[in-house]
Amino acid sequence: MLQRAQDLGTRVLQQQKWWILLLLVVLAVLPLFASRFVLHILLLFFLYVTLAESWNLLAGYTGYINFGHVTFMGIGAYTSLILMKDFGLSPFYTCFLGGLFAAITAVVIGYPLLRLRGPYFAVSMLSLSFIFTALAFNLSGLTEGGRGISVRPFPSKVPFYYFMLVCAVISVGAIYKISRSKFGLGLISIREDEEVADSLGVNTTLYKILAFAGSAVLPGIVGGIYGYYMSYMDPKAAFSFSFTLNSIVMCMLGGSGTVLGPIIGAVILRSMSEFVSYLIPGEFYKLLVGALFIGLILYLPGGIMSLFAGKEGSDVFAKR
Amino acid sequence: MLALTMQSLIGGLLMGSIYALLAVGLNMVFGGMRVVNNAHANFVVLGSYLAYALFRGYNLDPLISIFPLMIPFFLLGVLIQRFLIEPLKRRKAAMLTTMLVMAGVWIIIETLSLVIWTADYRFVKAPYTGTSFEVFGMMISKTKVIFSVVAAVLLALIYLFLTKTDRGRAIRAVTEDREASQLMGVKITQVTTLTFGLAIALAGAGGGLMSTMYSFYPAMADVWRGRLFCIVILGGLGSIPGSIVAAFIFGVVEALVTLYASAIWTDVVTYSLVIIVLLVRPGGLMGRQTA
Amino acid sequence: MSLLKGEGVCMDFGGLKAVHNVDFEVREGEIVGLVGPNGAGKTTLFNVISGYYAPTAGKVRFNGQEIQGVKPFQICRMGIARTFQVPRPLLKLSVFTNILAACLFGRSEAAAAVDHRAEVERIMDFLDLNELRDTPAANLNVAQRKTLEVGRALATAPRVILLDEVVAGLNPMETDRLMQKVQQIRDSGVTLFFVEHVMRAVMSISDRIYVLNFGEKIAEGTPQQIAGDPDVIEAYLGKGVHSA
């Protein structure tokens, strides 16, 4: 079932190449005439797409659920803002260092912890995010503790927009490429039955760590950019569970283990929040969002992409 | 220093009893039913709010009101299980979908609380609030002692229920091994509905008791949410004794770290403890170690 | 030539001696059976050979080289493939992709440079799986799943396959059909070490048989020797019963 939905995603990306190119061009020139507000909305949207697609790599394709996904973003945010605070370096350059640190953290922590089963791995990652939050509070010489780091805001939204757009495109592109590669098949085998994958010759330890590190890089990069965009970062914001939750929700709403799923999920969730909050005054709109949300999940537990899944269908590897 | 340590230790144990009451409910659902009840902490806070409402309206001390309160919470749990969880389980949906559904419930509870009671901090000032016992030169919070006693009573009742009654034994069986229980003829739907209702009832009761200890606000659940999950995992999914042990460990470690180092390091120590324990015992302290 | 050899293999779980002091040898080109009552330790022995467990004591040799404790994926790439007693297909993937995964990952370096798709087609053809090419493995019946297990094992270009109850649960017709394929696999040069309960299968095709009971080897020999061995009969049928 997932493979048929998978197939739709790859089919869309292959056959609708021109429409996608057009969309990208439109998005690229948008800053010329769009309002700051629109840029803000889109930029956050791209942020969430990046986070959700990254989460998708480890969860949707490899089958390991990470409740501490935000940790990588927070590492990136603090890396960039500390370097700016102490050395005046622009996060536009140092964000890559954040990505590197996030990936290194993933490798170091992944090697022992990826041996844990489902819920244990998930919650151990949650614990990790709490540890980082606490460290950010405590190492105040480095991180300014609870006060948070404030930096001089950048006068324009445009470079942030482009950065986020590029990251989102890369995240989707990477998932696309991986999902039809040998690496991707290895990951999917691990997800389907890790012991069997082992017996078939997949180096599961290596692959899991690679997927984990892969899921950490872009959040690390994007964390630095986001931190600069907000021109402020404190421990609670940097390692907030809401980023993890959003990634999970968007990925599952759209359909985990698919290329387009996280994008669809992000579109649905972001538009639901923004539009419904316009329609309904005060806080009431959240009730509707919550109810709509529950309804969606109950109706489509496999996410939107499951609508496009047939009972039989060649998976993307079996194409003649 | 010894007196201070003892005081901390006792305070930690008392805190542990709070964690225990809350964690046991979550474990029954997360461990037994593989439902990621994201909203568990929200039911706790809702319990605080309802106890507060009854206190404000009818001058009912939470010590009394939590017992009748458990009934609507139980029913709420049953409804949620029937209409939100059961459909997902029947369709063999992934475990994470339960997390999403409960996240929806979380939003709804939090928003309702916000709308009804506003974002102001609320608190129940019972006659024993803020007072302490003086024992051997140590100051021990009366409220926490009362909570512990009630929590112990509740947990004892639960223990009796789980060990002495057929229904209770069925819950334990399903909590430990769902498949095997099914094979032995246990009516899973009935049991899971009962389990969920019981878990929510415990959450509500815990929250009601806590209304006299901490001031609360709609988003207060965020403080407890992750912590309770970590405690349950530390103890081991599906092991109720494990949750209780883990809860006490958390309480005591927090108290001792606060005393000997400083409060800001408690999180680093407790959550590192969770990870370290998992490295050595991948199934938690008392949970099943192999898949 | 000795391909697979076990020397004093022991596997303890806590207090339970699942496998105790078992010696065995499988020579190249042979079909060797491994039989014994339920719980005798047969699958555990396979798990030790294929790397899931490191034995508590003893050695396992492949081509003279010690392999106990080596990781499962490396054992597969060395040329030892295995099937599972209860078939474990990669459910959401098609039959084709299941075999493709084995082909891509399980081959030794020497055998890896091959046209993978062609190889998978060849194996599916040999096992009569062509019609099921695109079927998700979740939709297969037992016989088809068992065949898929064999197909995956073949795709890793093995020198020896550990077959764990490959015809269990199949009706006589399905059994004969699959056993025919198994014979053909041996004829193509692959050594087979297989666990089986279905006696007609074991007796008819094995060159030699080992018998385990309570984790220990109680007999070894040709099918005729085993059939008449009083220890074997006692293990299966209990004391005081002689061959019918």
For C22-57, the pLDDT digits (tens) are 999 999 999 999 998 888 889 999 999 999 999 999
**Range name among C101-110, C111-120, C161-170, C235-244 with the lowest pLDDT average:** C235-244
Separation CA A206–CA A107 (nearest Å): 10
Question: Chain-wide mean pLDDT for chain B?
Answer: 89
Residue A175's pLDDT is 95
Distance from CA of C72 to the nearest CA of A (A): 5
Residue A3's pLDDT is 54
Query: At A148, is the secondary structure helix, strand, or coil?
Result: coil
B68 and A CB contact within 8 Å: no
Q: Chain A partners of B283 at a C-beta cutoff of 8 Å?
A: 117, 120
Q: How far is CA B137 from CA B134, B148, B197, in A?
A: 6, 21, 43
Q: How far is CA A128 from CA A103, A131, B110, B194, in A?
A: 15, 5, 26, 33
Separation CA B43–CA B195 (nearest Å): 15
Spatial CB neighbours of A52, under 8 Å, sequence gap ≥ 6: A246, A247, A250, A251, A254, A262, A263, A265, A266
Separation CA B186–CA B168 (nearest Å): 12
Question: DSSP characters for chain B?
Answer: -HHHHHHHHHHHHHHHHHHHHHHHHHHHHHHHH----TTHHHHHHHHHHHHHHHHHHH---HHHHHHHHHHHHHHHHHHHIIIIIHHHHHTT--HHHHHHHHHHHHHHHHHHHHHHH-SS-B----TTTT-EEEETTEEEEHHHHHHHHHHHHHHHHHHHHHHHSHHHHHHHHHHH-HHHHHHTT--HHHHHHHHHHHHHHHHHHHHHHHTTTS-B-GGGHHHHHHHHHHHHHHH-TT-HHHHHHHHHHHHHHHHHHHHHS-GGGHHHHHHHHHHHHHHH-TTTTTS-S--
Average pLDDT over residues A1-24: 69
CB neighbours of residue B232 within 10 Å: 33
C and A touch per CB criterion (3+ pairs under 8 A): yes
Residue A129's pLDDT is 96
Q: Which domains does chain C have, with CATH numbers?
A: 2-88+159-237 (3.40.50.300)
What are the structural domain ranges in chain B? 15-220
Average pLDDT over residues C68-76: 93
Separation CA A27–CA A19 (nearest Å): 12
Residue C230's pLDDT is 82
Mutate to test the interface with A, among C48, C49, C73, C120 (most CBs of A within 10 A): C73
Is the Cβ–Cβ distance between C226 and C209 less than 8 Å? Answer: yes
**Which of C199, C150, C244 shows the shortest CA–CA distance to C37?**
C199
CB neighbours of residue A132 within 10 Å: 24
Average pLDDT over residues C59-70: 92
Residue A7's pLDDT is 59
Question: Number of residue pairs across A and C with CB atoms under 8 Å?
Answer: 98
Residue type, B198: L
Contact A314 C96 (CB under 8 A): yes
The tens place of each residue's pLDDT in chain B, 291 residues long, gives 777 888 888 889 988 998 999 999 999 898 878 899 999 999 999 999 999 999 999 888 888 888 999 999 999 999 999 999 999 988 888 889 999 999 999 999 999 999 999 888 988 888 877 778 777 777 788 888 888 888 888 888 888 888 888 888 887 777 777 777 778 777 778 888 988 999 999 999 999 988 988 889 999 999 899 999 999 999 998 888 899 999 999 999 999 999 888 888 999 999 999 999 999 999 999 988 875
Distance from CA of C169 to the nearest CA of A (A): 21
Residue type, A305: M
pLDDT in tens, B214-225: 889 999 999 899
Distance from CA of A66 to the nearest CA of C (A): 22
- A294 pLDDT more than 60: yes
Residue B79's pLDDT is 95
pTM: 0.92
Would you place residue C244 in the very low, low, confident or very high pLDDT band (cuts 50, 70, 90)? Answer: very low
Separation CA B64–CA B67 (nearest Å): 6
B111 and A CB contact within 8 Å: yes
A319 and C CB contact within 8 Å: no
Contact C50 A199 (CB under 8 A): yes
Residue A1's pLDDT is 44
Separation CA A295–CA A268 (nearest Å): 13
Of all helices (H) and strands (E), which one includes residue C58?
Answer: strand C57-62
Distance from CA of C227 to the nearest CA of A (A): 33
Contact A134 B268 (CB under 8 A): yes
Q: How far is CA C153 from CA B162, C34, C136, C160, C169, in A?
A: 48, 18, 18, 9, 19
**Which of B178, B206, B163, B156 shows the shortest CA–CA distance to B288?**
B178
Would you place residue C239 in the very low, low, confident or very high pLDDT band (cuts 50, 70, 90)? Answer: low
Tokens matching residue C220: 């070894």
Is the Cβ–Cβ distance between C206 and C31 less than 8 Å? Answer: yes
**Which of B28, B27, B18 shows the shortest CA–CA distance to B168?**
B28
Chain C contact partners (≥3 CB pairs within 8 A): A
A315 and C CB contact within 8 Å: yes
Tokens matching residue B281: 């015992």
What's the order of all strands across the beta sheet hosting C208-213? C80-82, C160-164, C191-195, C31-35, C208-213, C216-221
pLDDT in tens, A198-242: 999 999 999 999 999 999 999 999 999 999 999 999 999 999 999
- What number of CA atoms fall less than 13 Å from residue C23's CA on the CB side? 5
Q: Which residues of A touch B (CB under 8 A)?
A: 65, 67, 112-113, 115-120, 123-124, 126-131, 133-135, 137-138, 241, 245, 248-249, 252-253, 256, 282-284, 286-287, 289-291, 293-294, 297-298, 301-302
Tokens matching residue B204: 């509500």
pLDDT in tens, B143-191: 888 888 888 888 888 888 888 888 888 877 777 777 777 787 777 788 8
Spatial CB neighbours of B156, under 8 Å, sequence gap ≥ 6: none
More confident residue, A55 or A144: A55
Would you place residue A132 in the very low, low, confident or very high pLDDT band (cuts 50, 70, 90)? Answer: very high
Is the Cβ–Cβ distance between C18 and C37 less than 8 Å? Answer: no
A313 and C CB contact within 8 Å: yes
Would you place residue C242 in the very low, low, confident or very high pLDDT band (cuts 50, 70, 90)? Answer: very low
Would you place residue C240 in the very low, low, confident or very high pLDDT band (cuts 50, 70, 90)? Answer: low
Of B36, B111, B275, the CB nearest to A290: B111
Tokens matching residue C173: 């017709």
Chain B contact partners (≥3 CB pairs within 8 A): A
Contact B105 A286 (CB under 8 A): no
CB neighbours of residue B261 within 10 Å: 12
Query: At C130, is the secondary structure helix, strand, or coil?
Result: helix
Question: Chain-wide mean pLDDT for chain C?
Answer: 89
Q: How far is CA C142 from CA A217, C87, C170, C175, in A?
A: 43, 8, 7, 11
Is the Cβ–Cβ distance between C113 and A208 less than 8 Å? Answer: no
Residue A308's pLDDT is 77
ipTM of predicted complex: 0.91
pLDDT in tens, A166-210: 999 999 999 999 998 999 999 999 999 999 999 999 999 999 999
Q: pLDDT > 70: what percent of chain A?
A: 93
- A247 pLDDT more than 90: yes
Residue B291's pLDDT is 58
C139 and A CB contact within 8 Å: yes
Separation CA C153–CA A16 (nearest Å): 39
Contact B93 A302 (CB under 8 A): yes
Tokens matching residue B270: 């407790």
Distance from CA of C61 to the nearest CA of A (A): 18
Tokens matching residue B164: 């002495």
**Which of A281, A263, A221, A268 shows the shortest CA–CA distance to A91?**
A221
Of A127, A131, A297, the CB nearest to B100: A297
Fold of A2-308: ABC transporter involved in vitamin B12 uptake, BtuC (1.10.3470)
Q: Which letter does DSSP use for residue A31 in this model?
A: G
Q: Chain A partners of B102 at a C-beta cutoff of 8 Å?
A: none
Sign of CA dihedral B243, B246, B248, B251: negative
What are the structural domain ranges in chain A? 2-308
Average pLDDT over residues C136-141: 92
